[in-house]
Amino acid sequence: MAKDPVRVLVTGAAGQIGYALVPMIARGVMLGPDQPVILHMLDIPPAAEALNGVKMELIDAAFPLLKGVVATTDVSEACAGVNVAVMVGGFPRKEGMERKDVMSKNVSIYRSQASALEKHAAPNCKVLVVANPANTNALILKEFAPSIPECNITCLTRLDHNRALGQISERLDVQVCDVKNVIIWGNHSSTQYPDVTHSTVTTKDGEKAVPGLVNDDEWMKGGFIKTVQQRGAAIIKARKLSSALSAASSACDHIRDWVIGTPEGIWVSMGVYSDGSYNVPPGLIYSFPVTCKDGKWSIVQGLSIDEFSRKKMDATAIELADEKALAYSCLN
Ligand code: NAD
Ligand code: LMR
């Protein structure tokens, strides 16, 4: 029997991530090849005509799984009954801008959209915040939508996770699908800590630890971390636009694993509300290694943390606490 359609909201749908993301959702990349979807696309009035153009293209592409398209500039209409909300709308960072520069513009959007989601979305709606500052926008959304369970509000660090997998695969000249269990700790920013301490590569001789295979501490603690931390800025420099296809694809990975589950023995990175695990202060949206089952994520417990990792994990937590304070000062 055919499944009932799932309603998926994409805010900022006329923007460049939106343009890459909506066809992926309509093709089943996010929710699976047998899951019909109804797309709800929100943008602001100056982008209404472009948004309608995206709707026209979605119709023209004749996606078999796509059972309806709502394209609107009305936030209440956009949020009505949605089961999944991918929050991309906002102002992107331009060349030379720090992420803090986009803070004041974006946190006020997230406060008002929190209320709309709370009022109009389906009760168990899963929320993924992509727009920067992603962790802090998600935190503001959580705080201003108190009736949405906090475990349903997450932010995207899967792009950083995938970037780390990509760097290890290039360095070791192995297939990216054979690399697993990297971790992104903390903020989706240049203080994030990409950690390969626990990651492995599947080889013909079994699972091998990445640190032993790389065998270059200086690179793992230096060049590797910096490349992943700075990859967003490097893309902006190269394209004069921020990452879009990789962000859209990683957003699909995030929701797919959350809804369908992570494969046995594999963890992924998600920005989630800290419960104090690994001594990360509660009250922040912080990226942790998680596994997902039955639509719920859980933080992977019991990983050993050395002194180098501890310092990096604390530094990114401090930045998040500063961002939180700054966000509140922008809202007041
Ligand atoms: P873009 O400017 O191309 O698109 C943003 C869209 O949001 C625009 O169409 C704009 O009109 C719309 N918008 C603005 N205010 C809105 C509002 N109040 N409600 C609904 N829509 C609104 O930007 P983009 O390149 O698509 O990037 C979107 C966001 O994602 C940026 O904040 C960017 O920094 C962020 N980003 C995050 C990651 C990540 O990994 N977390 C990766 C890449 C980009
Ligand atoms: C990215 O990681 O590509 C985006 O968050 C863009 C940015 O501002 O770094």
Backbone Cα Rg of the chain: 19
Ligand 1 pocket, mutate which of 43, 79, 99 (most atoms under 8 A from CB): 43
Model confidence at 100: pLDDT above 70: no
Strand 84-87's sheet: what is its strand order?
66-72, 37-42, 6-11, 84-87, 126-129, 153-155, 268-273, 285-293, 296-299
Structure confidence at residue 98 (pLDDT):
67
Instruction: Inform me whether the pLDDT recorded for 140 exceeds 80.
Output: yes
- Please give the Cα distance from 131 to 210 (Å, whole number): 31
- 8 Å CB contact between 125 and 85: yes
Q: Decide whether any atom of ligand 2 lies within 6 Å of the 243 Cβ.
A: yes
The answer, as to whether pTM is greater than 0.80, is yes
pLDDT confidence of residue 58: 98
Q: What confidence tier does 99 reach under pLDDT thresholds 50, 70, 90?
A: low
Domains of the chain: 6-155 (3.40.50.720), 158-324 (3.90.110.10)
The total of other beta-carbon atoms located within 10 Å of residue 4's CB is: 11
Q: What are phi and psi of 328, to 5 degrees?
A: -65, -35
Residue 1 neighbours by CB under 8 Å, 6+ apart: none
pLDDT of residue 149: 96
Using a pLDDT cut of 70, give the percent of the chain over it.
98
Q: Is 188 marked active-site? A: yes
Which pLDDT belongs to residue 1?
Answer: 80
Region 227-243 average pLDDT: 95
Question: What are 177-232's pLDDT values in tens digits?
Answer: 999 999 999 999 999 999 999 999 999 999 999 999 999 999 999 999 999 999 99
